[in-house]
Structure 1
């Protein structure tokens, strides 16, 4: 096979692959932009603002991301992760001693049974039991809302991370396409500088032995 023909074939193949990587990069960039815009718009619609620096509690002041974002509007995935894990998570832990919505279900059920029994027997402790039930029910309701918001914010964070990864992958595709384009152009230049009569042949066994 002629060397020029081989160079042209490899160069055309390289250009085709570069075009494919470019298209993949454009698609990934589009997905990354969509993810970032969607997360920003959805979080912005919630009108969540971090607590100002002068109003942070002692525990909150020990959290770096809460201090950095103090007073800022929540609009990014990283901010959503911080607010969910460090702000909401901290308050939920302090409110119910670290108990979750499911954990509070058992004491709530027990108190309901005790209140029902006390009502039937006219137990003097009825008022106290009702107060305990009201407190546990309020805690469980608050924890449920907090855990729900926390989950939604972490979902937004995960979606934003997918967009970030897509952007990084797009950069790799662009770099690969640029490298293949340069190599293909170099191959074409080499092809047209190579004499048309020159052929590409593997070295003979005798020459290979001599070289070795």
Structure 2
């Protein structure tokens, strides 16, 4: 009796896991493809040559060099470009200050100070940092969705594998068979007659 229950549960779980796994694989593949298509449509090329050489940050150079000259078309490339190229340039232009800090300084200026050469330069820096933060946010969002898609893809594969193993067990060793000699309810006298 227990074997029958385990067999049925194994078969039901197998079906559910395989279906959920296939849906996760489809979702993960779709997410990764969508991120690739959207990033590719922007036609951004990863920095190479002089653009890489100009970076003073060795960690940034190392993170970007493996993608040098290739199209920005995946989550890891988007993350590298956002964190090791855009952010490095933003920090260099603002001496490590954030958009919020620069914007705070700019908004405290009087109208006369904003019109001065230093005020205009600060306003331009504020605009540059705003655009950099916006682009970084978009690229890091693309990376996050690529990562979600990748996790879904691998989780889906794992679910399908577990589902197949349960199916093999449920339709194999755990499946209850018809009454055979070993499991017959008839006694020896009934078989002899």
TM-score normalised according to structure 2 size: 0.84
User: Aligned match of 1:154 in 118, 128, 140?
Assistant: 140
Q: Specify the alignment match of 1:140 in structure 2.
A: 126
Deviation at 1:53, TM superposition (A): 3.0
In the alignment of these two chains, the number of paired residues is: 182
CA offsets, 1:187-209, max 9 Å, x none? 23x7358534259xxxxxxxxxx
Q: Specify the alignment match of 1:121 in structure 2.
A: none
CA offsets, 1:67-89, max 9 Å, x none? 11111110000111111111111
Q: Does 1:59 find its partner at 2:56?
A: yes
Deviation at 1:48, TM superposition (A): 0.9
- Contact (CA 8 Å) 1:111, 1:132: kept in 2 or not? no
Deviation at 1:61, TM superposition (A): 5.1
- Contact (CA 8 Å) 1:18, 1:180: kept in 2 or not? yes
Deviation at 1:39, TM superposition (A): 0.3
Deviation at 1:97, TM superposition (A): 1.1
- Contact (CA 8 Å) 1:49, 1:71: kept in 2 or not? yes
Deviation at 1:111, TM superposition (A): 3.3
CA 1:58–1:89 in structure 2 vs 1: closer, same or farther (change >3 Å)? closer
Deviation at 1:33, TM superposition (A): 1.0
Q: Does 1:79 find its partner at 2:59?
A: no
Q: Specify the alignment match of 1:22 in structure 2.
A: 18
Q: Specify the alignment match of 2:107 in structure 1.
A: 109
Q: Specify the alignment match of 2:117 in structure 1.
A: 131
| Of 165-174 and 51-60, the range deviating more from structure 2 | 51-60
What do you get for the CA RMSD once the two structures are aligned? 2.2
Q: Computing the radius of gyration over CA atoms, which structure comes out larger, 1 or 2?
A: 1
- Contact (CA 8 Å) 1:61, 1:67: kept in 2 or not? no
CA distance in 1, matches of 2:107, 2:3: 79
Deviation at 1:130, TM superposition (A): 0.7
| Residue ranges of structure 1 left out of the alignment (5+ in a row) | 117-128, 200-212
Q: Specify the alignment match of 2:35 in structure 1.
A: 39
CA offsets, 1:125-168, max 9 Å, x none? xxxx7100110000000000000000000011111111111112
Q: Specify the alignment match of 1:186 in structure 2.
A: 173
